[in-house]
A and B are shown apart, each in its own frame.
Chain A
Amino acid sequence: MNPRRPRLLMVVGVVGLAAATACAPGSGGSSTASTPTPGATVSTDVAKAGKVTLTVWDQEVRGGQAAQMSQLNKEFKAKYPNVTIKRVSRSFDDLKTTLRLALSGTQPPDVVEANNGRSDMGAFVTAGQLRPLDAYAKAYGWEARYPQSVRQYSSYSPDGKTFGQGSLYGLPQVGEVVGIYYNAKKLAAAGVQPPKTWAEFESALAAVKAKGEVPMMFGNLDKWPAIHVFGTVQGRTTPADAVTQLAFGRKGGSWTTPENTKAAQTLVDWVDKGYFEPGFNGQGYDPAWQAFSKGKGAFLIAGTWLQADLQKAMGSDVRFMLPPGQAADAKPVATGGTGLPFSVTSKSPHPDVAAAYINFITDPHAMEVLASTGNLPVADTAAQQVSAGLQKDVFNAFGTVVKADGLLPYLDYTTPTMPDTLGAGLQDLLAKKASPQQFLQRIQKDYGDFSSTNG
């Protein structure tokens, strides 16, 4: 007799029994947390709160990020000696994977840095795990301080289904915008001025190409970088409100419009004309911008997060600009957003102190601290004293685009599955495995399936 059989049966039996008798996942009490009602009375007086320990989970682990956080925490503790801050900081990826479990536990942290997107913040709002901050926004005057194009990234309807509108669930410290870095030396060598219009930009690409240089550095092995390039092009072809509607996954929009087709076609044309570095689908994002910093390529479409590294490597050779519009005086429009917003958990016993903490790390003084530690503050950006050159370019660009309410959401916010659909779709498009029409139909299907069931 084979001794394996009864053992196998037993395992199957145990598994089956456990599956049959256990109760539904998520029924362990966490989901029954009542959603706090917005508009309840709030207090901004921290000193009165007595002895409080505030647990804060953040992802500010790198250089300047870590520096600003520890400085602001120290200042907060000096101002309010009755509050002890217990800081837990993890890298972005670690935070993303552990926060889900922490929030569904019985004693979640008080303040958490939650990623803006639907599968993170949206899911937490749906599960009633984050506290709406509207009452605090009123008490602290956040609405006057942050324009709608910044607040939208941490706004959800209370059921978590609508993104970009509704209650405020968090506040970010830093901003980011995707623009165009250029190598000033290379442009001069090709005899072109920094472009003021989109047409000038495209002719500059052609001029650099004619010189035998790589016009644009681009590495798309990681799938997502093309989303930023596509978003930048789409911002020129498609009206801003149409992009916003699509990117927040709201009903009624369409990807298969002539404008979006034109954007997709532009990318294909750029591939045909050899504007991108050859082999870009097999090149990593980091090696691509590192090659740019070593003098390869004239342009690089990327976010402000590369500013410090590029400045260090290239000095005054590198400059930054918002993607130019069709006309020189067109409204500035660029893909961008905010850093991860800080939110208050529903189960926190000290929401008032938690909100005061968030206010403290985002107030005008905090913005100065952020700028002085090499971060891009989300508010009062243009007012900061920074060195001329790249950093000034970046601060001006973000200040300008926010002031004009021209921030377009990242396209991968659209649906939870969109980062993958769009990333893979763009790789297919750029490798000519899909036509612009096929590419857009695929995106439209993902968007349509989601937005029609999302209510």
Chain B
Amino acid sequence: MTVERVAPGAVEEALQPPRRRSGGGPPGEPRRVAYLYLLPAFLVYAAFLLYPLARSVQLSFYRWDGLSLGTWVGLGNYVDVVRDAGLRAAFGHALVLMVFYAVVPLVVGLVLASILNRAKVRGLGFFRTVVFLPQVVAMVVVAVAWRRIYAPDGTLNSLLSALGLGSLTRGWLGDYTLALPAVGFIGTWFETGLVTVLLLAGMGRISGELYEAARLDGAGPVREFLAVTLPSVRGEIAVALTLTVIAALRTFDLVYVTTRGGPGNSTSVPSYEVYHRAFELGQVGSAAAIGVCLTIIIFVISFGITRIGDRDTTR
């Protein structure tokens, strides 16, 4: 399009400042000056996010101990990431954690939220606070507390013994099959509150008329939930999934404090490997490669989730 083509009227044209005319386009169309407004935010974004990201990508192509001169190894670090069975297992553990961090809280959260929403219980605010409370506590504190609960002489085992289930007691975090689910369950406990509160907010927005209409059509509570509640909170579900999936994939503090990746390597996760390699082993390049892989995986998964959310809300 050219500047000359737009000529809505001679008077108007005369009134328009020349600056605006040279920008071109009808009012409301994006103009180049907009980039200027974006610049300050972009600079901050670039300095604290894009530059470090670019540096990480760059570092991942080197073998570097963080001290002396690095050597270029091309995709060598990435090949090692794929070849290393221990690392593949770590990514696998992160996927298992995703179930505990995202899927289980979502199911539990949906049930809890719809009960709280339907029952119109007294003291809803109180219950909402209780459910949300884990989110307020720092993850390290959560991890230390749960470490005590899972200890061989800890609360969980005492409880089991008191219930006559003494045969089930064990050092939970030292058990090869149960350590990862045990760690995952902490995540479930932690994330459920967030998901529930998000969904509650979403359900609160649903118009009562929809439920009325459903009831008139003879829908029971389950049908109501499937036909009205669930489709209405798809946006919230997408947000909840994005947040919890990212939390699952970047789990670090929980594993660092509870198990340090043990017993054996049965609870190792990629983020822990990044820390371990960069700060303990001095393999900065390899750590950066893992970090970049993790970033890509998180990006792809959360991109997929938001796409699902977008499609549902625009339908």
Contact = CB atoms under 8 A, between A and B. Distances in A.
Of the four ranges (under 10, 10 to 19, 20 to 34, 35 or more), the interface on chain A belongs to 35 or more
A258 B165 CA distance: 43
B64 interface: yes
B64 A25 contact: yes
A127 B173 contact: no
B311 to A, nearest CB: 13
Interface string B62-74: 1011111111100
A291 B58 contact: no
Contacts of B170: 279, 282
Interface of B: 50-51, 53-55, 57-59, 61-62, 64-72, 147-148, 150-153, 169-176, 179, 258-265, 276, 279-282, 284
Contact of B174 (A18, A27, A100, A280): A280
A281 B176 CA distance: 10
Contact of A26 (B54, B55, B68, B153): B68
Contacts of A129: 67
A124 interface: yes
B67 A427 contact: no
Interface string A406-439: 0000000000110110011101100101000000
Nearest to B259: A221
B152 A283 contact: yes
A126 to B, nearest CB: 6
B68 A126 contact: yes
B67 A26 contact: yes
Interface of A: 11, 14-16, 18-19, 22, 24-27, 30-31, 96-97, 100, 103-104, 119, 123-124, 126-129, 220-223, 277-284, 287, 291, 416-417, 419-420, 423-425, 427-428, 431, 433
Given A15-B50, A25-B58, A283-B152, A431 B67 contact: no
A283 B174 contact: yes
A127 B71 CA distance: 14
B67 A282 contact: no
A25 B169 CA distance: 51
A221 B69 contact: no
B304 to A, nearest CB: 13
Which among B54, B58, B152, B260 has the highest number of chain A CB atoms within 10 Å?
A: B152
A25 B262 contact: no
B105 to A, nearest CB: 25
Contacts of B279: 96-97, 100
A123 B70 contact: no
Contacts of B71: 24
